[in-house]
Structure 1
């Protein structure tokens, strides 16, 4: 089954004539996001982009736009908001990503998110997991543009911050650009100015969520074409962006690049991009990490375990001498009772010993 699915996924897409372009005047007004805030962003990633992760990423990339993990609208309304909507002031600008498919509930959750200080409310129309499909949200919403439009309209009405959508190119074996464009047009007419386009199809049967991030072919040209044919919209490209050069190339065709797994597993790439695109001096990995000491120690004083913070830092020295030892020290020590900042200094000392040895 999976092999057949992979073969079908690899099929090419058929390009067709586009529908007439929409105009911004046809949209329900929603606040625009400043262009500079769209150039670099970090994708919402389940189990990864919690508040501790976002504070770390903000240290690396002062100008990046950050996103929460996806939170279902029902959880925002009825759940533990102190935990689910945790946010440190340094994270701004930061967006809350919502999951759901009921306009009234999404509107209520959007209002709560805006009141809690989030700078943007983003609707997930791209997650392909079975659990998400069972709840009729995520990528399966690509098949229901009218419902997405109704949800966006309700969210725009309910809050005074930008309402945006993160989507795929399509679902399963639908490789028709006009279907994708019709989805965008209907949702844009409801008030969405900005689309984050994960430039792959989502396969709702036969591929795991991980395979859905790797097997369907990337079609960046669809995101480029969307921006060309709908210049009034803000278009961010996402999916498979691994290096600074790749990210920079997308800026020639879209309003910004959103990094996901690369930003998490090799977070120093965010710092390299931020300094290259926005200016400033490149800081060393150790300097950046040590600047987080006040935050880490304040969290430890509040009863947070070190492991919940350091798990996001393991890739900081990816590809560097001493990087493996750095990860090992944090991985093995951060979960122990009483683990504190001294463990991070111990891990940094190993990397610095390698650097001193190489310089000798």
Structure 2
């Protein structure tokens, strides 16, 4: 039997199966990181996990270059679009515009704590107005057959999460939302930077687990502080329906995404060097269309994290990929550093 390469094997995957329980593991929407190149790379490592776009605001979709903001490679499925906004009419229009792209899920951001998001009255600040969020998601649901989901925090500022979070979930469930991704930290809208909001407010995984017990009919996924597949497995075993990985999936995809499909009972686990070689045709196509090498390779820097040759891999890509005319030869040169280090180990 002829051995198929990695993209060919992905193409053979049954589309219905690809979307089955994809929420079991997902990669968080991360601004400036989870663009289409990053998602293509991640998809080569996991067939099953749900991949999220960067947050795109509803006004940007309505008034901006829709093809650039919404376009993606079909190999990325299952893929979710995360929208930011607080105007039901704008969100409905954005969903309507996005419909032809065929996203597997549309997610409303109710968790981002950045100043820019607060000034637009969306993101985490929306947790203070669950009735408005209910109107937003109802308007979005009217424009798509895809599931509309919500990503939120456990609360904001001085709110009591034990009271606010179940009330928030209950209100949105009444509006038809059955899938929540909960970042298990409060968001402090004053006094903490977005980076600090990802690290300083204490994690409360137990609260999210209690929400699953309280709302067994809903899909409850946990985000925040999960840095390994082992931790994800443990949380799944404790009862949540899904786990969302964030920075760990970006900085160390070789350990957090390769092998992740075992969560679905599958043995898809390509070696990092196989992932690199599978990326080459994609990179060549991007370069042929006028793209730059570093636009892709910046997402590949952590692929060999913790493995022999990781430093040489990063050094070559960091120094050479930004040069004018840089091509796949730079990637192969970096890979040679890894292979040499592995041989010497």
TM-score, with structure 2 as normaliser: 0.92
Q: Deviations over 1:279-335 (max 9, x none)?
A: 225321101111111111111111110000000000001111211110110011111
Partner Cα distance (2:71, 2:265) in 1:
28
- 1:300: which partner in 2? 287
* Offset at residue 137 of structure 1 (A): 0.2
- 1:280: which partner in 2? 267
Is residue 242 of structure 2 the alignment partner of residue 242 of structure 1? no
Is residue 335 of structure 2 the alignment partner of residue 345 of structure 1? no
**What residue ranges of structure 2 are gaps of 5+ in the alignment?**
1-17
- 1:38: which partner in 2? 23
* Offset at residue 130 of structure 1 (A): 0.7
- 1:255: which partner in 2? 241
Is residue 308 of structure 2 the alignment partner of residue 321 of structure 1? yes
Is residue 108 of structure 2 the alignment partner of residue 119 of structure 1? no
Q: Stretches of 4+ moved more than 3 A in 1?
A: 275-278
**Change in CA separation of 1:281 and 1:181 when aligned onto 2, cut-off 3 Å:** closer
Please say which of residues 318-327 and 142-151 is displaced more in the overlay. 318-327
Is residue 257 of structure 2 the alignment partner of residue 264 of structure 1? no
Is residue 133 of structure 2 the alignment partner of residue 133 of structure 1? no
- 1:83: which partner in 2? 68
Q: Secondary structure at the match of 1:246?
A: helix
- Alpha-carbon RMSD: 1.2
* Offset at residue 345 of structure 1 (A): 0.6
* Offset at residue 278 of structure 1 (A): 3.4
Give yes or no for contact 2:261–2:269 (8 Å, CA) kept in 1: no
* Offset at residue 277 of structure 1 (A): 4.0
Q: Secondary structure at the match of 1:150?
A: helix
Please say which of residues 278-287 and 343-352 is displaced more in the overlay. 278-287
TM-score, with structure 1 as normaliser: 0.88
Give yes or no for contact 1:310–1:330 (8 Å, CA) kept in 2: yes
Q: Secondary structure at the match of 1:319?
A: coil
Q: Secondary structure at the match of 1:195?
A: strand
- 1:289: which partner in 2? 276
Q: Secondary structure at the match of 1:349?
A: helix
- 2:11: which partner in 1? none
Q: Secondary structure at the match of 1:202?
A: coil
* Offset at residue 176 of structure 1 (A): 3.5
Give yes or no for contact 2:45–2:269 (8 Å, CA) kept in 1: no
User: Which of 157, 166, 173 is equivalent to 1:181?
Assistant: 166
Give yes or no for contact 2:27–2:245 (8 Å, CA) kept in 1: yes
Is residue 188 of structure 2 the alignment partner of residue 203 of structure 1? yes
Give yes or no for contact 1:114–1:121 (8 Å, CA) kept in 2: no
Please say which of residues 184-193 and 96-105 is displaced more in the overlay. 184-193
- 2:12: which partner in 1? none
Give yes or no for contact 2:71–2:101 (8 Å, CA) kept in 1: no
Aligned length: 326
